[in-house]
Amino acid sequence: MTFNDLKLSPAILKALDKENYTSPTPIQEQAIPVVLTGKDLFGCAQTGTGKTAAFSLPIVQLLSEQQGKPQGVRRTRSLILTPTRELALQILENIQAYSQFTDLRSVAIVGGVSQKAQERSLERGADVIIATPGRLIDLINQKFVNLQHVQILVLDEADRMLDMGFIHDVKRIITKMPSKKQTLFFSATMPPEISKLVKALLVNPVKVEITPASSTVDRIAQSVYHVEKSDKQGLLNHLLEDPSIVSALVFTRTKHGADRVVRGLNKVNITAQAIHGNKSQNSRQNALSSFKSGATRVLVATDIAARGIDVDELSHVINFNLPNIPETYVHRIGRTGRAGLSGIAISFCESEELPYLKDIQKMIKKTIPVVTDQSDPMLIS
């Protein structure tokens, strides 16, 4: 199947061609036709499946098809809510690329940066707003944002918004919109609260489910080291002596842990930067840009900050700390092995984390091979 088969407009096809998009991913194939018909959609899909284009392309098409150039200030006709600043900025970048041959204007509303530039963008008017909930509520209260003309609402990574305590804010934002609108809802997992929200917000939704957790991990070479907590930094430094690890995303449980790991790597002259919630928006963007360009070899992140990081051809994911939620493990390692490429995921497991390892193996229905020879990271028993 090609994007031509999805009945997308010539302007969008031209943009996709320019951005070197060749064929749609499974979620794009299934979701785009549904969204173009105006139906509500519930997408059960994780990061890396191509879901941003699955909702952005039809939104660009539906909005740009509406007649005439805007008279006076543009009204906001679509709102996309995301849990993190990085994800919001990435979606903005994508929508601007897809709509480059249309008259649409989009803007990102995120915390952690000065509000002034966002106020100026909003005064000029925006067809599409991509926002994190906290900053959006501030700007609604200050009368900079009017959502009364929203036709299409997207809730992206709803489970992560729940984890981060944003669901109350999301519900408040929804009350500012017309009750009659098209809603597109995406979540990688289905905790009870999310199921309740889907029932409350969506009208006869079409459900699109992509890649059950276990199959994402089949392409990825996984291994685990049983290691004392105090030896983890030394092991990480040792592994990174291997030049075949071109780029590594390292996950820690806490922000302080991320900073500590970066200091440990910098001490042995390994270029590394941390990305987490205590960092300013600029320093997070700079760290991400350096990592994408290859200037920084290692990016150390917490789960919340890493949501929305999309790096092509990431060679390794390293779990410095194992997560206590098995789905999080799948999200983490799914950042390597993207778009059909194979990837490598290495985990460190201290004795306290053994129950987490057990839960992860139960969920992915496979035993992760243990590395017994610490001098050779890929020699697996």
Let me know if residue 40 belongs to a domain. Answer: yes
- pLDDT reported for residue 381: 33
Which of 1-10, 72-81, 126-135, 318-327 holds the top average pLDDT? 126-135
Greatest distance between any 2 Cα atoms in the chain: 69
Tell me, yes or no, whether 39 and 176 share the same domain.
yes
Q: What percent of the chain has pLDDT over 90?
A: 52
Tell me, yes or no, whether 76 and 199 share the same domain.
yes
Tell me, yes or no, whether 205 and 221 share the same domain.
no
Tell me, yes or no, whether 13 and 69 share the same domain.
yes
- pLDDT reported for residue 213: 47
Tell me, yes or no, whether 102 and 191 share the same domain.
yes
User: Residue 239's pLDDT band (boundaries 50, 70, 90)?
Assistant: very high
Domain boundary among 175, 209, 243: 209
Tell me, yes or no, whether 205 and 239 share the same domain.
no
Tens-place pLDDT, residues 52-61:
999 999 999 9
Alpha helices in the chain (DSSP H): 10-18, 26-36, 51-65, 85-98, 116-124, 133-141, 158-163, 167-174, 192-201, 213-218, 232-239, 255-267, 281-293, 303-306, 326-333, 354-364
Let me know if residue 342 belongs to a domain. Answer: yes
- Residue that the structure tokens 């899909």 belong to: 45
Tens-place pLDDT, residues 82-109:
988 888 988 999 999 999 999 999 999 9
Let me know if residue 378 belongs to a domain. Answer: no
What's the token pair of residue 85? 């600043």
Residues 201, 211: Cα–Cα separation, whole Å = 24
- pLDDT reported for residue 379: 40
What's this model's pTM, rounded to 2 decimal places?
A: 0.65
User: Are the CB atoms for 314 and 338 separated by under 8 Å?
Assistant: yes
Let me know if residue 374 belongs to a domain. Answer: no
Q: Are strands 41-44 and 343-349 parallel, antiparallel or unpaired?
A: unpaired
Let me know if residue 47 belongs to a domain. Answer: yes
- pLDDT reported for residue 211: 59
Domain interval for residue 80: 3-209
Domain boundary among 184, 209, 234: 209
Domain boundary among 209, 227, 249: 209
DSSP string, 294-337: TSSSEEEE-HHHHTT---TT--EEEESS--SSHHHHHHHHTTSS
For residue 251, list its beta bridge partners.
Answer: 301, 319
The total of structural domains in the chain comes to 2
Tell me, yes or no, whether 241 and 193 share the same domain.
no
Tens-place pLDDT, residues 30-45:
999 999 999 999 998 7
Q: How many CB atoms lie within 10 A of CB 119?
A: 14
Tell me how far CA of residue 19 lies from CA of 3, 22, 238, in angstroms.
Answer: 13, 9, 39
Residue of 225, 186, 271 lying closest to 376 (CA atoms): 225
Which of 128-132, 194-198, 251-255, 365-369 holds the top average pLDDT? 128-132
- pLDDT reported for residue 61: 95
CA angle 310, 60, 6 (to 5 degrees): 85
What's the token pair of residue 33? 């036709």
Tell me, yes or no, whether 125 and 219 share the same domain.
no
Tell me, yes or no, whether 94 and 239 share the same domain.
no
Tell me, yes or no, whether 105 and 225 share the same domain.
no
Tens-place pLDDT, residues 363-379:
888 899 999 865 544 44
Average predicted confidence (pLDDT) for the chain: 87
Please name the residues in contact with 198: beta carbons below 8 A apart, sequence gap of 6 or more: 42, 185, 205
CATH number, domain of 219, equals: 3.40.50.300
Tell me, yes or no, whether 37 and 123 share the same domain.
yes
- pLDDT reported for residue 37: 94
User: Are the CB atoms for 213 and 364 separated by under 8 Å?
Assistant: yes
Tell me, yes or no, whether 283 and 197 share the same domain.
no
Tens-place pLDDT, residues 321-354:
998 878 788 878 877 766 555 689 999 999 999 9
